[in-house]
Amino acid sequence: MREVIGSNNRILEIDLSTKKFTVSEINKKDRNMYLGGKGMGLKLLYDRMEPGVDPLGEDNMIAFTMGVFMGSGAPCSGRFEAVTKSPLTGIMTCSSCGGPFGMALKTTGWDAMIIRGKASAPVYLAIDSKGVQFKPAKGIWGKDMNQAEAALLKEGAGALVIGQAGENLVRIANIRSGHRFVGRGGMGAVLGSKNVKGIVAKGGEIKIVPAKKEKFKKIVRRFNKYINNNPVTSGTYRSFGTNSATIACNTTGTIPVRNFTGGSHGEVHKISGETMAERFKTKWDTCKPCTIMCGHKGTIAGEERHIPEYETVHLLGSNLEIFDPVAVSDFNELCSKYGMDTISLGGILGWAMEATEKGLIKTSLKFGSTEGVADMIRDIALCRGIGKDLAQGSRLAAKKYGGEDFAMHVKGLELPGYEPRGAVGHGLGYATANRGGCHLSSYVISIEILFNMANPFTPKWKHYMVKFMENLFAAINSLHICQFTAYAVMFEPFLVKVSPFPLLKVLMGNMAPLAMNLMDVSLFPETWHAILGKHYIPYLGMLKFIKAGERVHVLERYMNTREGISKKDDTLPLRLLTEGRKCDAKEHTVPLEKMLKKYYKSRGYDENGIPKKRLLRRLGIKIQ
Amino acid sequence: MNINKYPEIVPGRKFLKEFYVGIMLWVVGRALQVAAKVDKEVKAELAKLPNNFTLRMMVAPEKAFPLFFYAKLLPSFVTDIGLLPYGIQMFLHKDKEGNIKYIGADPKGKKADLSVIFTSIEAAWLVLSFQESTATAYMHGRFVVEGDLPHSLTFVRALDIVEVFLLPKIISGLAVKRYPKWSEMSLMRKFWKRIVIYIRAFTIG
Amino acid sequence: MHIPDHYEFLNHSKIISGKCALETIPAELGGYDAQKPLVIALKSVVERGLKKKFIKTFSNSMVVLGGIYDEVREYAGISLAQDAAILFKARGCDSIIALGCGPAVDLAKAVNVLVSEKIDNLSAHYEGAAIKGPLKPLIVVTAGRSNGREAANALVVDNRELVSDFLCPDVFIIDPRMTPGSCGESVAESGATAMAQAFAVLTDRGINPMTAAVAHPAMSYLAEYLAKGVKRPKNRQASVALANASVMASAAYSNSRPGMANLLAGELAEATGISAGRFERIILPSVIAAMLKKKAWIEDDLYLAAAGIDGYAATPAGERTQRGLEVSLNIVGGLKKVLPVSLSEMKVQKHFLEKAAKAAAAKSGKRFTEAECASVLAQAWDAAGKVK
């Protein structure tokens, strides 16, 4: 096996229309500025794609990019990024996935892959270190994800497949790799529109070796220590998965109940991570490699299934007022069979239930009842009956049938399972997230609720928290490493560890910039430098790393503004801005306007939310 | 839905305008009564009205808000100046002998043959503060007339002459349709009648 | 003048415009034997402090306001209508006042249907059931940005249209205290909508004497006051003129066929979620430019309305069509400083244009072809229809 030191830097560009491929290199400047992963994917598409193309047309491109960490043996680094223009939102979308395809593609010798054009007949792509073979997908087209993936895995170590939903151009379709998904933004439909059923990478052709082996080993040891010491990453997540946040969120009224009207519910304990772990006797089932181990599987209804994640449980459970974990798992399995994003699907079903209640559409769906839900999921995946309209996403469905005021989406992307009226900073995060209603863009709720470090109802300094976290997460997704490692890296270093908690809380509440800049996240850039063999300057290297994150975030924003995004789109569903939650006597709403103004100012956008030229120049983004 | 968020709104009152309009109606009523006695032209004009005729000038609504339930409990002198319970109004009566008399503001037991009704207090304010002339105001729908239209025209003509008597040219010029020329009304007559009407209106009537 | 073989015209709204128009509401309500209206207000109007002024005008009247439901923002949805209907019933109201234009009027009409027909939602009507009888009295107080549907016999709630002759508002109140706009942009958008509607009426081949008569003053007002109103949105005279133009244009337009600019703007607005007025401003010049190029025949009325009798009389009969189009182009051109002038400036995604052209051509009843629509949009993309 060939050894590659640092990074391979090869890009595979595939044109499906002509069935040809080209090979190019990631240049050094781009590597330094955009790191890899998400940043690199965006940069590649920024250079190649015109604004205004049809997301489901020939001109749209989809990029799969690996980071520098992948294959090096860094903890929790088994993740890759997919970037494209989303058919659901009409703007750029980036999605991270922990499936085996990333490792397979990287060890086949490719750091990035871009697919453009449209195949004349259904195909699947078989990739090895020499290039790509276009093989007819006759036998697998029309098959569900389980069968299709099993067929493709005969030819390589890792595969990406779409299900029937992707083939039918359902705008919430996802792509699967192992038991992990490229979930949000309808990437499955983009592959489906290109007539690509799957991609399989041979894997195991090269081996990545860090340039500074000894230093790298030391860093990994520190990394693992941090992860194993942190109560979230080594405690609750490891034992109960992401769903361990349920009880904390329920007590603070931040779970979606009845299409985001409730906030909390008395029966939520039935679907909490703790209950599921006990009831289904869960075992680990994670991305590879992983140290946190938040993924679980267990025995549900007599068969071994993946335990639903927090978002799935709440969007397909509490949001529909269904508190039966077996039913939620059934829906989850259906989604992984047909290939649909559970978050968006939950949002759409919530909308459909309320629309039925208000007489806008006629379905058998009803809040609190599992009857008809499974059938509707099948109808959506196969585009039958009213499912055809629901498959367009809640934004387009609401445009056709009405009910835009209770379609819970931002920029077309349905909201995840956190109720922002109980955590206003998180609400700002939803509004400003580049790909739409996304919790992973900033995840300020971790500061507001999970770590209880800031008052969740005040808008004070929330703009700064959102900005800082966005930059940090954009950088982390460009390395690319699991976002959950950030908790360990942020809260375990000496300074934070020894500070008394009340002091931290006061600092965070009143002097957030100081508190956040004191957090030492240098472990990330140190690892990156060690793998590539570059010299790391303490502190300055960290600032450069955060700046790279800012660059990635602003680049994505700039690409979106070219597609027509501006302040009018940085908003929340009307319900969150005007109505109080049922569980909240004070009827808090999200004071978005106030926070947004400060956010734009601190970001360097103009009052309309467009990045100023000065900002783009400072970050070295070429203005097109 | 919490309906208490949208409370019922009982609109308030414009006391100053009410007071001004009330006074003005009283002055107009009394002045017409006096003018009919002292001025031939007015007398001739009002003679066209039939005998035993009651005219009412009023600002809608008839029942003044919010005291109308308790109106009967109040002493009659409160209602006399036309301010409170019955809305702002004024009655002018022409008796069997043809004498014009201002008969107060209390509508109890009175049947009006001709009603001039201002649609709102603001409309009455516009007319009685001379921002709009009577003719323009009628065009703008500031008041409606119930009863015989010829009678109302008679009344308006008489009112115009009285306004010329009562007010300086600069103000009454705004209020009347056409200010009379010197040949039609001498200065002597105008000033003399002005003094007489003012004195008698506020004293013996 | 051309006599159509057959025509129909419906508009039963009384328009009260001018000083102290608001004070006539109690008397008008009295005429319908009503004295407890529910007010459905635009949030933006309430936030501008017009609520106080509005309440004050009911002083010394017997009218009690059953409540001011001020939750109406950009979007009129059935949830709001249901809430307002609950309020209406709980307070025992007997009439409705819409304070503000656009969604407030749509919502007021919807609430009116709900409470008059005693139903919970509009699903039966969306499926084709007719509205049975006369509804409760509806008074519209114009304020804020118009969407060109106020005087029409239609409502759009939840993006679905419902048409019935009973839906025409009973009274329009245009009061200089309420009409001044918040900013030049919103005035320009309303103006562009009214302009596109009046233009569509006056250039339609199926024009009839009544629509022409109503659209004519609308166009004259726009020609005279649009530029002034946009420059000084608080100017009372201009704002009253433009509010009148809006109401007249929408009354005429609801009795006429939609023009190309209206159809295309409607499609693009639906695809992008941006208000149709902005697109109308961009597309109208391109439509006019295409008409100029094609030397299309239109009635002289357009020129007479836009330029006045002097200009009309001084122009040879053969040139009036051409001049009419040029003057219209100049009126729209007056908005160029406040609203974007091209679709590329608006950053509309290019793939929407094709779909919009197709949908508009399908809706036009074979009056325009897809190619014509597409060429107009292509011109509008980089503002080819520039003002001379």
Residues A393-437 pLDDT 10s: 999 999 999 999 999 999 999 999 999 999 999 999 999 999 999
Q: In terms of residue numbers, what domain contains C244?
A: 184-381
C190 lies in the same domain as C122: no
Residue C387 in any domain: the answer is no
User: Could you tell me if C29 and C164 lie in one domain?
Assistant: yes
Chain A neighbours (≥3 Cβ pairs under 8 A) are C
H or E element that contains A200 = strand A196-201
Q: How confident is the model at residue B66 (pLDDT cuts 50, 70, 90)?
A: very low
* pLDDT value at residue C388: 41
What would the mean pLDDT of A549-576 be, rounded to a whole number? 95
- In the predicted structure, residue A196 carries a pLDDT above the cut 90: yes
What would the 3-class secondary structure string for chain C be?
CCCCCCCCCCCCCEEEECCCCHHHHHHHHHHCCCCCEEEEEEHHHHHCCHHHHHHHCCCCCCCCECCEEEEECCCCCHHHHHHHHHHHHHCCCCEEEEECCCHHHHHHHHHHHHHHHCCCCCHHHHCCCCCCCCCCCEEEECCCCCCCCCCCCEEEECCEEEECHHHCCCEEEECCCCCCCCCHHHHHHHHHHHHHHHHHHHHCCCCCHHHHHHHHHHHHHHHHHHHHHHHCCCCHHHHHHHHHHHHHHHHHHCCCCCCHHHHHHHHHHHHHCCCHHHHHHHHHHHHHHHHHHHCCCCCCHHHHHHHHHHHHHCCCHHHHHHHHHHHHHHHHHCCCCCCCCCHHHHCCCHHHHHHHHHHHHHHCCCCCCHHHHHHHHHHHHCCCCCCC
**Mutation choice for A interface testing from C75, C351, C353, C355 by most A CBs within 10 A:** C351
Question: Is C122 within 8 Å of A359 when comparing Cβ atoms?
Answer: yes
Tell me, yes or no, if the two domains A2-209 and A241-405 fold the same way.
no
pLDDT (0 to 100) of residue B11 = 85
Q: What is the pLDDT of residue C58?
A: 92
Confidence at B176, pLDDT banded by 50, 70, 90: confident
Q: Of the ranges A599-608, B175-184, C10-19, which one carries the lowest mean pLDDT score?
A: B175-184
Residues of B with Cβ-Cβ distance to C91 under 8 angstroms: 3, 8
Average confidence score pLDDT of chain A? 94
Give me the pLDDT at residue C171, please: 96
Beta-carbon separation of C347 and A53 below 8 A:
no
Of C153, C174, C195, which marks where a domain is finished?
C174
Q: Which of residues 34-73 of B touch C (CB under 8 A)?
A: 59-61, 63-65
DSSP state of B81: T
- Suggest the residue from B2, B4, B9 to mutate for an interface test with chain C (most C CBs closer than 10 A): B9
Does residue A254 belong to the interface with chain C, where contact is any CB pair within 8 Å? no
Task: Specify whether the CB–CB gap between C186 and C277 falls below 8 A.
Answer: no
Residue of C36, C60, C70, C175 to mutate for B, most B C-beta atoms under 10 A: C60
Tokens of B23: 């006074």
On the question of pLDDT at B65 being above 50, the answer is no
A114-128, A306-320, A322-336, B17-31, range with the lowest pLDDT: B17-31
The span from the CA of A85 to the CA of C349, in Å, is: 12
Question: Is C60 within 8 Å of chain B by CB?
Answer: yes
Q: Does C156 touch chain A (CB under 8 A)?
A: no
ipTM of the complex: 0.92
| CA dihedral sign, ordered A347, A353, A356, A358 | negative
Q: What is the pLDDT of residue B70?
A: 52
How confident is the prediction along chain C (388 residues), in pLDDT tens digits per residue? 778 899 999 998 999 999 999 999 999 998 898 989 999 999 999 999 999 999 999 988 888 999 999 999 989 999 999 999 999 999 999 999 999 999 999 999 999 999 999 999 999 998 889 998 899 999 999 999 999 999 999 999 998 999 999 999 999 999 999 999 889 999 999 999 999 999 999 999 888 999 999 999 999 999 999 999 999 999 999 999 999 999 999 999 999 999 999 999 999 999 998 999 999 999 999 999 999 998 887 888 899 999 999 999 999 988 999 999 999 999 998 888 899 999 999 999 999 999 999 999 999 989 999 999 999 999 999 875 454 4
Q: What is the CATH number of the domain that holds C199?
A: 1.20.1090.10
Mean pLDDT of A198-213: 94
- Is C327 inside any structural domain? yes
- What is the predicted pLDDT for the residue at A518? 80
CB of C31 within 8 Å of a chain B CB? The answer is: no
What percent of chain A has a predicted confidence (pLDDT) above 90?
88
Superfamily of domain B13-202: SCP2 sterol-binding domain (3.30.1050.10)
* Average of per-residue pLDDT across A198-202: 96
Using alpha carbons, list the distances in angstroms from residue A251 to A87, A103, A231. Answer: 36, 40, 20
Nearest residue to A463 via CA among A616, A560, A592, A553: A592
What b/e string do you get for A10-27 counting C-beta neighbours within 10 Å, with b at 16 or more? bbbbbbbeeeebeeeebe
The length of chain A in residues reads 624
Each residue's pLDDT tens digit, A304-361: 999 999 999 999 999 999 999 999 999 999 999 999 999 999 999 999 999 999 999 9
Please say which residue of C174, C198, C230 terminates a domain. Answer: C174
Q: Mark whether C134 and C49 lie in a shared domain.
A: yes
Per residue in A445-488, pLDDT tens? 999 998 888 999 999 999 999 999 999 999 999 998 999 999 89
Name the residue in chain B with its Cα closest to that of C91. B8
Mean of pLDDT values over A133-141: 94
Residue C117 and residue C208 in one domain: no
| CATH code, A420-619 | 1.10.599.10
State the total domains in chain C. 2
Q: How confident is the model at residue A573 (pLDDT cuts 50, 70, 90)?
A: very high
On chain B, the residues whose CB falls within 8 A of the CB of C58 are: 11
- Supply the mean pLDDT for chain B: 85
Residues C20 and C145 in one domain: yes
**Is C318 a member of any domain?**
yes
Could you tell me if A186 and A86 are in contact, meaning their C-beta atoms sit under 8 angstroms apart?
yes
C191 with C321, same domain: the answer is yes
Nearest CA in chain C to A362: C123
Residue C272 lies in a domain: yes
C276 assigned to some structural domain: yes
Residues of C in contact with B126 (CB under 8 A): 19-20
Query: Does residue C45 form part of some domain?
Result: yes
* CA proximity to A40, closest of A16, A7, A71: A7
**Which CATH number among 3.55.50.30, 2.120.10.30, 1.10.569.10, 3.30.450.20 corresponds to the domain A241-405?**
1.10.569.10
Q: Which residue from A minimizes the CA distance to C77? A: A403
Label residue A57 by pLDDT band (50, 70, 90): very high
Q: In which band, very low, low, confident or very high, does the pLDDT at B78 lie, cut at 50, 70 and 90?
A: low
Q: Give the model's pLDDT for residue A434.
A: 96
In this predicted structure, the answer to whether residue B72 has a pLDDT above a threshold of 70 is no
d(CA C231, CA C234): 9
Longest C-alpha distance within chain B, in Å?
Answer: 72
Tokens of B39: 């001025």
Q: What pLDDT does residue A249 have?
A: 93
Contact A432, A567 (CB under 8 A): no
Delimit the domains of chain A by residue range.
2-209, 241-405, 420-619
Q: Is A399 on the interface with C (CB under 8 A)?
A: yes
Q: How far apart are CA C203 and CA C197, in angstroms?
A: 10
A458 vs chain C: nearest CA distance in angstroms?
Answer: 23
Q: What is the pLDDT of residues A43-52, one digit of tens each?
A: 999 999 999 9
Topology of the domain covering A2-209: Aldehyde Ferredoxin Oxidoreductase;  A, domain 1 (3.60.9)
Cβ within 8 Å, pair A359-C272: no
Question: Has residue B68 got a pLDDT over 60?
Answer: no
Question: Does C388 map to a domain?
Answer: no
Kindly report the nearest CA distance between residue A92 and chain C, in angstroms: 13
pLDDT band, residue A143 (cuts 50/70/90): very high
Q: Which residues of C touch B61 (CB under 8 A)?
A: 26, 30, 60-62
CA of C365, closest CA in chain A: separation in Å? 22
Distance between the two ends of chain B, CA-based, in angstroms?
62
Chain C residues within an 8 Å CB radius of A362: 123
The pLDDT assigned to C313 comes to 94
pLDDT band at B98 (very low <50, low <70, confident <90, very high): confident
Backbone phi, then psi, for A206, in 5-degree steps? Answer: -130, 165
Nearest-neighbour CA in chain B from C17: distance (Å): 10
